[in-house]
Amino acid sequence: MTLPSAPGGPPPEDAAGGPPVRASPGKILVVDDQKNMRATTAMVLRSAGHAVEEAEDGAAALRRIGGEAFDVVLTDLRMPTVDGMEVLREARRLAPETQVIVMTAYGTFESAVEAIRRGAYDFLAKPFREDELLLRVSKALEKRRLVGEVNLLAGEFRRRYGLEHIVGRSPAMQELLDRVVRIAPTDATVLISGESGTGKELVARALHVASRRGERPFVPVNCAAITETLLESELFGHAKGSFTGATRARRGLFEEANGGTLFVDEIGETAPGFQAKLLRALQEGEIRRVGESTPVQVDVRVVAATNQDLRRAVAERRFREDLYYRLAVVPLRIPPLRERREDVALLAVHFLERFATRTGATKTLAPGAIERLSAHYWPGNVRELENVIEHAAALARGPEIRAEDLQIEAHAGTGPASEARTLAAAVEEAERNAIAAAVARAGGDLSRVARELGVSSTTLWRKMKRLGLDARAAGGALQD
């Protein structure tokens, strides 16, 4: 090891030439059976402000890791009896938040790659320079901090998305919740289907919280919101230089979700090439970053969601059959609100209570209002109901919400099923007009449009795509 700058000198530059890395101090364990190497490494880290402990071999390291929490473990790979791989394995098992950096001798690059594959955060090839050591350690500390923040949120997360927040007493919802509770502890892949706004994401989060992965990250990815190429690098990560603009290597959401749940939303919108890659990841439990051939092992439960009829998509060859069966190990269908009308009033009251907690204003529903809510077709399902209630609660002058305070279309889609096709065309026409008008009003600000229309941005985006509407064209039309 060479020491080009004196300990305590200026902090090292980021490898990409960015701002100097902040040396937020951490608790570090240095494991090396070579005394000189160990002592020098520890000294450099101490002089940068870190609290450093030393272990003279693998067995000593295991004792320490079992006894106290380290932010970063820096371990040599080749040691007699208990080697670095075993230290890595035990650290991952006992203290998953600890970030492990392995030190390898010159010419043993393969073992470093193997260590990364098994969950090491990074590696350092001996001999390394002081600034290189400090940089890698501070990056590992940054990662450790992020992992900690995710876990801090976990308690709040649990309360917010726990099963107790899924409202519904209809037999259909009871059956669904029953299935959620039974399948949550398994690692089975789940496919959630249901119309827009039925609560697919809510159920996915509940599945996660109720599973053994509940304290680990829940990582949502929306397949409809980005292009296929971007989606791939977003999910699988990419190597530096793998495409124009990839100025540095990046880990994907699959790796971010390690130990937790990856929520693949709008899976029906994906292209066959992407579907093939996802299938491989599910089958092999490992992924490859774009532009890299070495696989990375991941321990992730995948929960997918769609508002499409995927079986029909399979029949029409828009969706890979093998992936469908892989995903639908456990299918969960969330019934639309019109199939569980007994939940409408319950949900309405739930949203009113939430409104009261937030604003302090308690409002009740007049009998006429409940009747009107129960008779509505609810094309936008629970989200639409949520919106209607929020609106009415905010606008109603008195403490009671009357039927006429509810802003819902009286005739939206209540026709018989035999008229479905023509009705669908009529609904489409109405949707196209409503969206185009709202986009024009909002000057192309799509999140404002989504809020105004009471749909998620995703739903809006999807609908606009299907209806052939273009945000800029619509916004431009307003200015003309």
Ligand X SMILES: Nc1ncnc2c1ncn2[C@@H]1O[C@H](COP(=O)(O)OP(=O)(O)OP(=O)(O)O)[C@@H](O)[C@H]1O
Which residue shows structure tokens 């109901």?
Answer: 385
Candidate residues 104, 198, 211, 258; the one interacting with ligand X per rule CB under 6 A: 198
Quick one: 124 or 408, whose CB is closer to ligand X? 408
Taking CB under 6 A as the rule, which mask of x and - marks residues 343-372 in contact with ligand X? Answer: ----x--x----------------------
Candidate residues 95, 153, 163, 202; the one interacting with ligand X per rule CB under 6 A: 202
Phi/psi at 409 (nearest 5 deg)? -70, 130
SS3 250: strand
Quick one: 26 or 268, whose CB is closer to ligand X? 268
Q: Give CA separation, 128 vs 1, 52, 71, 124, in Å.
A: 5, 18, 21, 7
> Where are the extended beta strands (E) located within 160-224?
190-193, 218-222
Candidate residues 12, 197, 260, 268; the one interacting with ligand X per rule CB under 6 A: 197
Q: Give CA separation, 80 vs 33, 94, 110, 118, 409, in Å.
A: 8, 22, 19, 20, 76
Candidate residues 456, 463, 464, 475; the one interacting with ligand X per rule CB under 6 A: 456
Select from Mg ion, ligand X, none the partner in contact with residue 382, using the beta carbon and a kind-dependent cut-off of 5 to 8 Å: ligand X
261 lies in the site for ligand X, by CB under 6 A: no
Question: Using CA atoms, how far apart are residues 241 and 236, in angstroms rounded to an integer?
Answer: 15
Q: How far is the CB of 155 from ligand X (least distance, A)?
A: 19
Question: Using CA atoms, how far apart are residues 334 and 194, in angstroms rounded to an integer?
Answer: 5
> What are residue 330's DSSP bridge partners?
190
Binding stretches for Mg ion (CB under 5 A): 201
Select from ligand X, Mg ion, none the partner in contact with residue 196, using the beta carbon and a kind-dependent cut-off of 5 to 8 Å: ligand X
- From the list 35-43, 107-115, 131-139, 189-197, the region that binds ligand X by CB under 6 A is 189-197
Candidate residues 84, 199, 214, 475; the one interacting with ligand X per rule CB under 6 A: 199
Question: Using CA atoms, how far apart are residues 419 and 416, in angstroms rounded to an integer?
Answer: 6
Quick one: 233 or 307, whose CB is closer to ligand X? 307
Taking CB under 6 A as the rule, which mask of x and - marks residues 378-407 in contact with ligand X? Answer: ----xx--x---------------------
Quick one: 156 or 480, whose CB is closer to ligand X? 156
193 lies in the site for ligand X, by CB under 6 A: no
475 lies in the site for ligand X, by CB under 6 A: no
147: amino acid identity, one letter: V
- Count interface residues toward ligand X (CB under 6 A): 20
441: amino acid identity, one letter: R
Q: How far is the CB of 475 from ligand X (least distance, A)?
A: 23
Quick one: 201 or 269, whose CB is closer to ligand X? 201
Quick one: 75 or 198, whose CB is closer to ligand X? 198
Could you tell me if 130 and 3 are in contact, meaning their C-beta atoms sit under 8 angstroms apart? yes
Q: Which of residues 159-178 bind ligand X (CB under 6 A)?
A: 166-168
Quick one: 288 or 463, whose CB is closer to ligand X? 463
- DSSP sequence for 105-170: -TT-HHHHHHHHHTT-SEEEESS-BHHHHHHHHHHHHHHHHHHHHHHHHHHHHHHHHSGGG----S
Structure tokens at 451: 């809020």
Question: Using CA atoms, how far apart are residues 155 and 247, in angstroms rounded to an integer?
Answer: 36
Q: How far is the CB of 423 from ligand X (least distance, A)?
A: 21
255 lies in the site for ligand X, by CB under 6 A: no
Quick one: 233 or 459, whose CB is closer to Mg ion? 459
Q: Give CA separation, 145 vs 123, 142, 148, 268, 273, in Å.
A: 19, 5, 5, 35, 35
Quick one: 197 or 252, whose CB is closer to ligand X? 197
Could you tell me if 30 and 37 are in contact, meaning their C-beta atoms sit under 8 angstroms apart? no
Question: Using CA atoms, how far apart are residues 390 and 405, in angstroms rounded to an integer?
Answer: 11
SS3 255: helix
Quick one: 84 or 336, whose CB is closer to ligand X? 336
194 lies in the site for ligand X, by CB under 6 A: yes
Q: How far is the CB of 216 from ligand X (least distance, A)?
A: 21
Q: Return residues touching ligand X (CB under 6 A).
A: 166-168, 194, 196-202, 307, 347, 350, 382-383, 386, 456, 458-459
